[in-house]
Amino acid sequence: MFELLARDKYSKARRGRLRTAHGVIDTPVFMPVGTQGSVKAVSPRELRELEAQIVLGNTYHLLVRPGIDVIKHFGGLHRFMNWDGPILTDSGGYQIFSLAKLRKISEEGVEFQNHVDGTPAFISPEIAMEIQTTLGSDIAMVLDECTPYPCKHDYAARSVEMTTRWAKRCKEALQRRKENVQRSTSNAQRSIEEDQQSAIRNPQSAIKRQLLFGIIQGATFDDLRKASAQAIVDLGFDGYAIGGVSVGEPQEEMMRAVESCEPFLPADKPRYAMGLGTPPQMLEMIARGIDMFDCVLPTRLARNGTGFTPTGTINLKNADFALDKSPIEENCACYACSEFSRSYIRHLVKAEEILGLRLITLHNLHFYLDLMKQARTAIEREEFDEFRRGFASKYKARDADLAVTQ
Amino acid sequence: MFELLARDKYSKARRGRLRTAHGVIDTPVFMPVGTQGSVKAVSPRELRELEAQIVLGNTYHLLVRPGIDVIKHFGGLHRFMNWDGPILTDSGGYQIFSLAKLRKISEEGVEFQNHVDGTPAFISPEIAMEIQTTLGSDIAMVLDECTPYPCKHDYAARSVEMTTRWAKRCKEALQRRKENVQRSTSNAQRSIEEDQQSAIRNPQSAIKRQLLFGIIQGATFDDLRKASAQAIVDLGFDGYAIGGVSVGEPQEEMMRAVESCEPFLPADKPRYAMGLGTPPQMLEMIARGIDMFDCVLPTRLARNGTGFTPTGTINLKNADFALDKSPIEENCACYACSEFSRSYIRHLVKAEEILGLRLITLHNLHFYLDLMKQARTAIEREEFDEFRRGFASKYKARDADLAVTQ
């Protein structure tokens, strides 16, 4: 499933390729977040034009609206949202812990009331897998408990142990579902290409190829991160995610959490740092051996009038841009920068015109996706370290941007 | 400038062609409303794909935000908003009368405070022309007083007379501005095609070809409508608009206002019914000799979750559509209908995803533009009356839709 194409000499950066039921993903990769079955303000056609390789869907949000039955009726999320590329779904756990009300966690699972209309619901590892096979995602995530920051060692330790038991139950539940599908469909041998065509026509066949990633927790404690990584890797998954990062902890803690886990992760599986991050953070994570990222920053900041540039973010509402004929970013190839000035986009944002946030969203996603493309090329050319340092020296982080990461 | 290509045998419907500095417009035509320099939620690229022939810009809104100086800095509205097709600008009068605060109307002009930050401003016929040449629109409108509904005969009569005097001042002011531009640029003879190319490169050259439409007022009074039409036509304009319609009056009054004016309008000039209307209203207006329309209905209703179909509007939030795999309109060629289901669009609207209103906006604009295309073809084929009756027999108007026309 995962092929390691190149490794950087001076860091742990990796250039890889992941095969899924709906297509190939070149890593390092940024995954735009399609929270409620739509990457906010962007159409599937625009995602393809941006060369997005994979999008993320949030199980919790889809469970609340439109409900899994609706998506089941369409044969899965791909058909519902009209996106035929790869999709990764989370387990729903993160949002249950951050958005839902009246949570009650037990060994069995989590009881909660959704944040929209308070409808009570229950999710267990088995149910999380059932939902994700119904969504038909290419990559599913295990149900985990994402501990907050700060978190006591004692609580984090017990949570890590339960997350491991849940991970095992997820793996077993998905295995059973795959066996059921296998029994109910033809056993004919087919090539991957035939399978991929088949996945688009028949969501059932995609489930047979659904990948499952384990999630490593352990808060900010080295010993727990290590123990969690070992336990999750021992269970064996198609990829490994580092969860419980970018939850408000200082950046050094975030880097340390990844550094604690990384030595235990097998080289031949993809690694995914969940919910990250700023452009320099992603490059730092790549240097620490991470392959996959998802983050709401480019879309969320866009809706706030903030655009990414190689020197840092700019607030397009700023009066300085009132007469500025230049694009958000000079020499950027995106639609917004090819055709529109900062002045016009500033006007649209100030006048609350939807086109304003649409254009900044397209630019910001292009910026993130292009940064990953540049990182891939740099790793292939053995120039990643130079690239990362060059980028960091020019990019000036703003605290205000980080306030909206979650 | 205007060429009459065909006339219907059974009604006053006309098929025409209007040449402007930025291109040719086939009539009858619907003009999407780009209030603040953007057709709400739509990009210029999408407008071109929708085959929009011309867009409308609202002088008042642009005056308030971003301010005329910003647009002047860009050499006009075309460059500012990156739309190289024809633009019609209104005079700003309508919004001053409907949105601004503390209006004081005198023979000289109107004092007002804008509705956004209360900044005081003054507009006169001469200033309205100055602003519209700065915007560089292809079609400018005279400054008029749009009387409300209901309105006393006495007030309407005095208003019509002042509107005529203002129209004369507008015409003279534009003439002076054109002569100034003429003096300051080369006098070389050029073809229309060269002029059009030149208009895109040099906004000054477009001003020489800027068209000016007069506006007929007179509220719901036949005698005033006739007097206004005669007086405005006597002054001589490139086209004639019927204003003060669709301001809350019953539909019969609206039709009667147009019928009162129409006999006085020269056949060889385009006629424009301002701020109209529903699909059947537009067809009725075409049958009464109207060539041009603008209306916020398709875009505004879209943002409310309402889509147009040949049988009337549908509210996509309706639970009936929760599992509906069909498009908004069967056999519709627009992007929304080619690629997305009512179920998915319903979900997006319910979940307040921007893509939902984007898709409905694209569909609704396509519906309006396509209706005009069908009307043009029907007139050419001498089948307009049949087409209009066929459409009306299937289309069921909803009162709720009309509540948002203004």
- CB contacts < 8 A (A, B): 122
A374: CB partners within 8 A, 6+ apart = A387
Q: Do A358 and B325 touch (CB under 8 A)?
A: no
Q: Do B80 and A344 touch (CB under 8 A)?
A: yes
Least confident of A84-88, A195-199, B180-184, B363-367: A195-199
The 3-state DSSP class for residue A97 equals helix
Q: How many whole angstroms from its chain centre is CA B190?
A: 30
**DSSP letter, residue A32:** -
- The pLDDT mean for chain A works out to 94
Six-digit token string for A244: 């419980």
> Taking a C-beta distance cutoff of 8 angstroms, is the pair A284, A388 a contact?
yes
- Answer yes or no: is pLDDT of B24 > 80: yes
The 3-state DSSP class for residue A111 equals strand
- Answer yes or no: is pLDDT of B187 > 60: no
Task: Please state, in angstroms and rounded to a whole number, the distance separating the CA atoms of residues A291 and A271.
Answer: 5
Tens digits of per-residue pLDDT, B125-176?
Answer: 999 999 999 999 999 999 999 999 999 999 999 999 999 999 999 999 999 9
Q: Give the pLDDT band of residue A406 (cuts 50, 70, 90).
A: very low
Of B65, B80, B343, nearest to A351 by CB-CB distance is: B65
A89: CB partners within 8 A, 6+ apart = A56, A57, A58, A59, A77, A132, A135, A137, A139, A140, A141
Of B43, B70, B325, nearest to A355 by CB-CB distance is: B43
- The pLDDT mean for chain B works out to 94
Provide the pLDDT for residue A195: 57
Tens digits of per-residue pLDDT, B63-113?
Answer: 999 999 999 999 999 999 999 999 999 999 889 888 888 789 999 999 999
Provide the pLDDT for residue A103: 84
B325 CB neighbours in chain A (<8 A) are: 73-74
B322 CB neighbours in chain A (<8 A) are: 66, 70
Provide the pLDDT for residue B405: 46
The 3-state DSSP class for residue A47 equals helix
Provide the pLDDT for residue A185: 67
DSSP codes of every residue in B235-250: H--SEEEE-S-SSS--
pTM of the model: 0.96
Q: Give the pLDDT band of residue A1 (cuts 50, 70, 90).
A: very high
Task: Please state, in angstroms and rounded to a whole number, the distance separating the CA atoms of residues A124 and A109.
Answer: 4
Q: Give the pLDDT band of residue A405 (cuts 50, 70, 90).
A: very low
> Taking a C-beta distance cutoff of 8 angstroms, is the pair B272, B213 a contact?
yes
**DSSP letter, residue B73:** H
B353 CB neighbours in chain A (<8 A) are: 36-38, 40
Least confident of B8-22, B109-123, B176-190: B176-190
> Taking a C-beta distance cutoff of 8 angstroms, is the pair A173, A130 a contact?
yes
Q: Give the pLDDT band of residue A320 (cuts 50, 70, 90).
A: very high
Give chain A's contact residues with B (Cβ, < 8 Å): 36-38, 40-45, 61, 65-66, 70, 73-74, 80-82, 322-323, 325, 335, 339-341, 343-344, 346-348, 350-351, 353-359
User: How many CB atoms lie under 10 A from the CB of residue A176?
Assistant: 12
Tens digits of per-residue pLDDT, B346-389?
Answer: 999 999 999 999 999 999 999 999 999 999 999 999 999 999 99
User: How many CB atoms lie under 10 A from the CB of residue A328?
Assistant: 26
Judged by phi (left if over 0) then psi (alpha if -120 to 50, else beta), residue A322 lies in alpha
B44 CB neighbours in chain A (<8 A) are: 339
B90 belongs to the catalytic site: yes
A323 CB neighbours in chain B (<8 A) are: 70, 73
- ipTM of the complex in this document: 0.95
Helices (H), B290-383: 297-303, 335-339, 342-350, 354-380
Q: Do B354 and A350 touch (CB under 8 A)?
A: no
Return the bridge partners of B212, or none.
Answer: B140
What residues of A act catalytically? 90, 294
**DSSP letter, residue A242:** E
Q: Give the pLDDT band of residue A189 (cuts 50, 70, 90).
A: low
The 3-state DSSP class for residue B400 equals helix
Provide the pLDDT for residue B79: 97
Task: Please state, in angstroms and rounded to a whole number, the distance separating the CA atoms of residues B65 and A69.
Answer: 46
Q: Do A36 and B351 touch (CB under 8 A)?
A: yes
User: How many CB atoms lie under 10 A from the CB of residue B301?
Assistant: 22
Q: Do A80 and B339 touch (CB under 8 A)?
A: no
> Taking a C-beta distance cutoff of 8 angstroms, is the pair A66, B347 a contact?
yes
Tens digits of per-residue pLDDT, B37-63?
Answer: 999 999 999 999 999 999 999 999 999
By C-alpha distance, the chain B residue nearest A83 is: B339
